[in-house]
């Protein structure tokens, strides 16, 4: 024994009899046990097991081949450079956009807000597709209008695409942060004699630093995991996600693919952890409960003009992007023959099964995600039996895993062995459910935080079992969280590509995967027509949900 007594661990002392109470509840409520076991089983089988397999699959030979290959180091370096550049630019653009949106004296905000959300509800590679159509070697803007010969394939093109594709993520995080900043601080700065720039530099920006870091880390995770855009526009600039994909489809070298996945997971996991740490610290609190009724300091006209101009340029670019997809779908041969045609849409009808699959699977996955997420949130948070921390972690873990990695992990795990379900529609739907679980679970947890435990306890005291309490008391109160989880999971699932591309089979082909295949073969007309179809279905579904929920549930503020 050492002389120094260890510091007592900082745990709350358990109230006396707590363990025995839990034990008694177990006996009285086998339902709780059953549901908890079910939740735990799902999380272990579909989250933990595949993740562990990625680490177990490669042997020493794979690792030495990876570490000894100069090319792989190039790929890793490329990935790092891409992540750094795109994250910084997307976060910076997102900050400017969010700052403009948080100023009350900038006109047309509802429109700009919708523009900034569009990339989040459309397939992630649409921007890459339109970049080629608009700014490629034979792009409409660069070649036809400006007579330029731009080579978009490679890092510059990828950088531009990812900046436009992921700045909305930063906008989402930062509008919240900037809106919470108290105007009183700005006024204080002004009373001390600062101009707009002084206030911005000494008040607004420093207060936004934690938000910026958090947004940057989130954007970084998206960029690192991006698969569709690099596949389309990176050309010979190879990045990890695409390289892992080639290891699978080209030679089915799952060991090497797993090594690349681990290489991809390390930085993503780090970003994820850091981001959560930032979010939990929140040391720069400006919401004190004493809400200020002040209006923000007016923005000087030149700044207002500049910001408005910026919003117009970015939104105009967004509009152009989407317009080019629809134009591409209606053009006979892009770049050569600009005649209008419906022949590509006729082809879309031939592949209508893919669109139906995408929609159907996304609806089922959306519902499964919402049910499971809310159930898991309630039982993990309010009826913890054992391993609450571990289950909580597993429920949010898929959010930290790049799509490519989950896809390969599932291929390794469910291709053979006790649960061989590859080649079925089931695995695709399960994948969509698990991928969207973290957001659904979090919205369930935050809804629970607003519901006092006393309600729950009164129901119990009146003799209601866990399931009944959940159904009659909690579920009605968590309905908003439920619907939000459903809509989010639907939108994400219908557009998802990076993970499901490893799991689709002829019977469960998805529109997003087909679009990618068509685009990769240079069938721009067919690819854009199918992409247009997919976007129309998504937007129609969003409109329908809005109608059904009476516009109460806001997804991405849309």
Residues lying near other proteins in the complex (CB under 8 A): 69, 71, 136-138, 143, 149, 151, 153, 235-236, 238, 246, 248-252, 332-337, 347, 350-351, 356-357, 360-361, 363-364, 367, 415-416, 420-426, 429, 476, 479, 482-483, 486, 504-509, 514, 517-518, 520-523, 526, 548-550, 552
| Cβ-based nearer residue to other proteins, 60 or 70 | 70
| Cβ-based nearer residue to other proteins, 434 or 513 | 513
| Cβ-based nearer residue to other proteins, 116 or 443 | 443
How many CB atoms lie under 10 A from the CB of residue 506?
A: 6
Judge contact between 189 and 203, C-beta under 8 A.
yes
Residue 207 beta carbon to other proteins: minimum distance, rounded to whole angstroms? 37
Instruction: For the chain, give percent helix, strand, coil, nearest 5.
Output: 75, 0, 25
Judge contact between 212 and 95, C-beta under 8 A.
yes
| Cβ-based nearer residue to other proteins, 420 or 536 | 420
Residue 409 beta carbon to other proteins: minimum distance, rounded to whole angstroms? 15
Look at the block and give the residue holding tokens 């590679």. Answer: 125
| Cβ-based nearer residue to other proteins, 394 or 484 | 484
Q: What angle do CA 49, 52, 54 make, to 5 degrees?
A: 115
Judge contact between 447 and 377, C-beta under 8 A.
yes
Residue 516 beta carbon to other proteins: minimum distance, rounded to whole angstroms? 10
**80 vs 193: CA distance, rounded Å:** 43
Residue 336 beta carbon to other proteins: minimum distance, rounded to whole angstroms? 5
How many CB atoms lie under 10 A from the CB of residue 235?
A: 14
Judge contact between 312 and 306, C-beta under 8 A.
no
| Cβ-based nearer residue to other proteins, 177 or 248 | 248
**Paired tokens of 353:** 């099964």
Residue 37 beta carbon to other proteins: minimum distance, rounded to whole angstroms? 24
User: Over the Cα atoms of the chain, what is R_g?
Assistant: 25
| Cβ-based nearer residue to other proteins, 137 or 388 | 137
Task: For residue 64, give the 3-state DSSP assignment.
Answer: helix
Residue 223 beta carbon to other proteins: minimum distance, rounded to whole angstroms? 21
**30 vs 24: CA distance, rounded Å:** 10
How many CB atoms lie under 10 A from the CB of residue 464?
A: 16
Residue 63 beta carbon to other proteins: minimum distance, rounded to whole angstroms? 17
């Amino acid at each position: 024994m050492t002389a120094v007594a260890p510091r007592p661990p900082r745990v709350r002392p358990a109230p006396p009899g707590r363990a025995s109470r839990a034990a008694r509840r177990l006996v009285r409520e086998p339902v709780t046990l059953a549901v908890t076991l079910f939740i735990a089983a799902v999380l272990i089988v579909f989250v933990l097991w595949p993740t562990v397999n990625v680490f177990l699959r490669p042997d020493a030979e794979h690792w030495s081949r990876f570490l000894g290959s100069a090319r792989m180091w190039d790929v890793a370096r490329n990935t790092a450079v891409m992540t750094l550049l795109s994250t910084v630019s997307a976060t910076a653009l997102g900050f400017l956009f969010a700052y403009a949106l948080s100023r009350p004296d900038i006109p047309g905000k509802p429109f700009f807000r919708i523009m900034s959300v569009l990339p989040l509800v459309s397939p992630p590679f649409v921007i890459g597709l339109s970049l080629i159509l608009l700014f490629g070697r034979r792009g409409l803007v660069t070649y036809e209008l400006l007579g330029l010969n731009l080579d978009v394939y490679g890092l510059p093109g990828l950088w531009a695409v990812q900046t436009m594709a992921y700045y909305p993520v930063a906008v989402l995080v930062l509008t919240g942060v900037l809106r919470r900043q108290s105007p009183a601080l700005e006024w204080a700065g002004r009373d001390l004699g600062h101009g707009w720039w002084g206030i911005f530099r000494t008040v607004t920006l420093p207060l936004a630093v934690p938000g910026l870091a958090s947004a940057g880390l989130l954007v970084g995770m998206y960029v690192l995991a991006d698969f569709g855009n690099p596949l389309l526009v990176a050309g010979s600039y190879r990045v990890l996600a695409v390289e892992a994909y080639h290891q699978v489809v080209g030679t089915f070298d799952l060991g090497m693919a797993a090594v690349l996945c681990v290489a991809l997971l390390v930085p993503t996991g780090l970003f994820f952890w850091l981001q959560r740490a930032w979010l939990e610290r929140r040391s720069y609190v400006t919401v004190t409960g004493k809400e200020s009724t002040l209006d923000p300091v007016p923005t000087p006209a030149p700044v207002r003009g500049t910001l408005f101009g910026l919003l117009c340029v970015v939104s105009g670019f967004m509009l152009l992007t989407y317009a080019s997809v629809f134009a591409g779908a209606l053009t006979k041969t892009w770049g050569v023959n600009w005649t209008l045609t419906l022949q590509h849409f006729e082809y879309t009808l031939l592949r209508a099964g893919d669109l139906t699959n995408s929609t159907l699977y996304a609806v089922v996955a959306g519902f499964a995600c919402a049910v499971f997420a809310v159930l898991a949130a309630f039982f993990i948070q309010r009826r913890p039996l054992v391993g609450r921390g571990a289950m909580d972690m597993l429920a949010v873990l898929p959010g930290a895993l790049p799509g490519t990695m989950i896809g390969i992990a599932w291929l390794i795990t469910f291709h053979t062995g006790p649960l061989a379900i590859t080649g079925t529609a089931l695995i695709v739907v399960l994948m969509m459910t698990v991928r969207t679980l973290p957001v659904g679970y979090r919205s369930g947890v935050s809804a629970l935080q607003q519901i006092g435990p006393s309600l729950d306890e009164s129901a119990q005291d009146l003799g209601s079992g866990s399931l009944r309490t959940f159904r009659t008391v909690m579920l009605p109160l968590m309905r908003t969280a439920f619907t939000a989880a459903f809509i989010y999971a639907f939108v994400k699932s219908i557009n998802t590509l990076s993970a499901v591309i490893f799991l689709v089979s002829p019977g469960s082909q998805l529109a997003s995967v087909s679009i990618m295949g068509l685009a990769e073969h240079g069938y721009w007309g067919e690819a854009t027509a199918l992409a247009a179809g997919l976007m129309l279905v998504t937007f129609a579904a969003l409109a329908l949900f809005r109608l059904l929920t009476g516009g109460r549930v806001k997804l991405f503020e849309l």
